[in-house]
Amino acid sequence: MPAPATRVLAVIPPMTQLNTPYPSTAYLTGFLRSRGIAAAQEDLALALVLELLSAKGLRALRTEIDALPSERRSERVQAFVDQFERYEATVDPVIAFLQGRDATLMHRIAARGLLPEGERFAALDAYVADEDGGDPLAWAFGALGTHDRARHLATLYLNDLADVLRDAIDPRFEFVRYAEQLATSQASFEPLAQALAAPPNLLDRTLQRLALEAIARHRPTLVLLSVPFPGAMYGALRIAQAIKAQDPAITVALGGGFINTELRELAEPRLFDFVDVITLDGGERPLLAFIEHLEGRRSRERLVRSFVREDGVVRYVHFPEPDIPFEETGTPTWDGLPLARYLSLLDMLNPMHRLWSDGRWNKLTVAHGCYWKKCSFCDTSLDYISRYEAANAATLVDRIEAIVAETGQTGFHFVDEAAPPKALRALAAELKRRRVAITWWGNIRFEKTFTPALAEELAESGCIAVTGGLEVASDRLLALMKKGVSVEQVARVTRGFAEAGILVHAYLMYGFPTQTVQDTVDALEYVRQLFAAGCIQSGFFHRFACTVHSPVGKDPAAFGVTLLPLPPGGFAKNDVAFVDPTGVDHDRLGVGLKKAIYNFMHGVALEQDVRRWFDMPVPKPRVARQFIERSLSAADAGSS
């Protein structure tokens, strides 16, 4: 007798984003339904936050705090207790406001009299007051802008509450990186095992209850836990723990970006106390194979890219079958996710930076993988980079129209590794031909194909912003990392986008192999000039991390570094420490870089010597102070 048909529930565990669903479950749910498989989805990351940040949730938090000894109460926790009635009275209205359900509340929030203000509001003191000394936010919002001003203040209020949860309940809690230190490049599973064996705290109990309520609603036979980041691993396993305790017959599968990157050499059998199978890379083919196995139509020996436990030992099973072509993966669906309940936050007063936390964006991929796949710092050997496949423009716009019809929302974030210029040009033309009006942004390479004319075409199609890697802002190091761009080229490309009205965010990097203090100071000078010239509006400095899957990790000698041995263990494996003969204290330099970029994003100190940002003596920049300006002028002269 054949096994009953599989019912799938795909789950987003804490924590991912609060303003929009992480897209993995939408992709998989849409794909499975296109193959006739019953599939539903739940965002337990959002559900957990909405439960905690409610009047009911704050009362539960207060009960936990009341049971704490006085020495466990930080100043923040005590301030929360002292103003508890105000927090209890305002939290539900604030959430409704951030969900777009109570816009008129903005007037009272913006007036600074409604909300209790904790430590997070001290950041407002860093802004210069207006001429009357009364409004430190006047420069950002002016006489109008009341709605955005109120959302910024409401975001600070929620961050205050997150601080209280962290101090009083769980020191690992974050709105995005929840307990990520338990998973990130942890060779041993022991820290996670100990955390999962500990008595559940308020956050754990709330999450487990929400998980069981979702199981009761959907009655799945297979639960998919998508773990895109290490900060979602702990929550995923707490969910799995609750499911297995309630009904061991429910099968649990684990996958996602963190799994694909860090658990490729998994040998830890204890992980299978919580889950039944772990899949790697694109989930469509492995899931089809596993579902066929559950239904008795495929043997275990014919699973695809799957880890299982047999006789107490982890075994990797991979029956070679081609992946589902990108054009045949179907249209993502957000059906079942509470789109009206996501929170539009405004945590940074920068028009580009806000896009990550503000607004509900339909996330979509123009192409699978990266068409360049040469960057030395990138995981170019892994499937999500190396397997490049594009869909034609007609298919993409079909998907866009279907998603708009389903969600009623026309904002799109294209989440490609690097959207190909050829594909974007074709997409823009197809949107224009069909008269489809959307607003979109996405990640690109700052390559010369993105001419001012193409930037104009993309702006006309609805593009409002692009992000891309300038990385080290040094031609020597850009060549070493095989980025395929130069600083001058980035200046010309980004200026073309800016002149088309498209905001530009630059991903920046420090600590790359052989990067000297002089390189770092010169890079910051380039960045300063790009901001001053209006080429970029936002940026972020990341500390370079060598990974085992990158060209640097695979051939360190080519980059002048020596890798240190990885610690023993059968769990996560990704970041690898290395010795750089330059001996530069990159962490200390990083403090200055981050201060500088924060100020540049707010238009502060753009004409000042970049050495002012470092708390140590650094050499004078070798870059001419008008380098970018002259490069742009030369480009203009050459094109006229």
Residue 2's pLDDT is 60
Q: Say how far apart CA 429 and CA 419 lie, in whole Å.
A: 15
Q: Are residues 446 and 527 in the same domain?
A: yes
**DSSP codes, 541-569:** EEE---BTTSHHHH-GGGGT-EEPPPPP-
**Which of 139, 168, 197 delimits the end of a domain?**
168
How many structural domains is the chain composed of? 3
Phi, psi dihedrals of residue 291, rounded to the nearest 5°: -65, -40
The pLDDT tens digits of the residues spanning 208-222 come to: 999 999 999 999 999
The pLDDT tens digits of the residues spanning 545-566 come to: 999 999 999 999 999 999 999 9
343 in a structural domain: no
CATH code of the domain containing 36: 3.40.50.2300
Q: Say how far apart CA 68 and CA 386 lie, in whole Å.
A: 51
Name the residue with higher pLDDT: 396 or 472: 396
Q: Are residues 298 and 424 in the same domain?
A: no
Q: Are residues 316 and 357 in the same domain?
A: no
Specify the amino acid at residue 356.
W
Q: Are residues 561 and 442 in the same domain?
A: yes
468 in a structural domain: yes
CA proximity to 101, closest of 93, 112, 113: 93
Contact between 11 and 233 under an 8 Å Cβ cutoff? The reply is no
At residue 639 the predicted structure's pLDDT band, cuts being 50, 70 and 90, is low
374 in a structural domain: yes
Contact between 239 and 186 under an 8 Å Cβ cutoff? The reply is no
- Is 194 exposed, middle or buried, given 0-12, 13-18 or 19+ CB atoms closer than 10 A? exposed
Q: Are residues 210 and 123 in the same domain?
A: no
Q: Is the omega angle on the peptide bond into residue 348 within 30 degrees of 0, that is, cis?
A: no
Contact between 9 and 291 under an 8 Å Cβ cutoff? The reply is no
**Which of 134, 168, 202 delimits the end of a domain?**
168
The pLDDT tens digits of the residues spanning 281-298 come to: 999 999 999 999 999 999
Write down the mean pLDDT value for the chain. 93
Q: Are residues 534 and 471 in the same domain?
A: yes
DSSP state letter for 100 = T
607 in a structural domain: yes
Q: What is the pTM of this model?
A: 0.93
341 in a structural domain: no
Contact between 573 and 558 under an 8 Å Cβ cutoff? The reply is no
Q: Are residues 123 and 61 in the same domain?
A: yes
- Sheet order of strands, 251-255 included: 38-43, 7-12, 222-226, 251-255, 277-279, 306-310, 313-317
CATH code of the domain containing 614: 3.20.20
Residue 143's pLDDT is 55
Q: Which of 184-188, 356-360, 457-461 has the lowest mean pLDDT?
A: 184-188
Helices marked H in 119-225 — which ranges? 138-141, 146-168, 190-197, 202-218
Residue 30 pLDDT exceeds 90 = yes
Residue 10 pLDDT exceeds 70 = yes
Q: Are residues 142 and 199 in the same domain?
A: no
Residue 390's pLDDT is 87
Q: Are residues 231 and 268 in the same domain?
A: yes
Place of tokens 């950002």: 140
Burial of 527-550, coded b for 16+ CB within 10 Å and e otherwise, reads: bbbbbebebbbbbbbeebbbbbbb
333 in a structural domain: no
Q: Are residues 513 and 625 in the same domain?
A: yes
Residue 317 pLDDT exceeds 50 = yes
Q: Are residues 564 and 446 in the same domain?
A: yes
Q: Are residues 532 and 470 in the same domain?
A: yes
Residue 136's pLDDT is 65
359 in a structural domain: yes
Residue numbers of the domain that contains 113: 53-168
The average pLDDT across 192-203 equals 96
**Which of 119, 137, 168 delimits the end of a domain?**
168
Place of tokens 């100020």: 599
Residue 131's pLDDT is 47
The average pLDDT across 70-78 equals 92
75 in a structural domain: yes
The pLDDT tens digits of the residues spanning 335-348 come to: 999 999 999 999 88
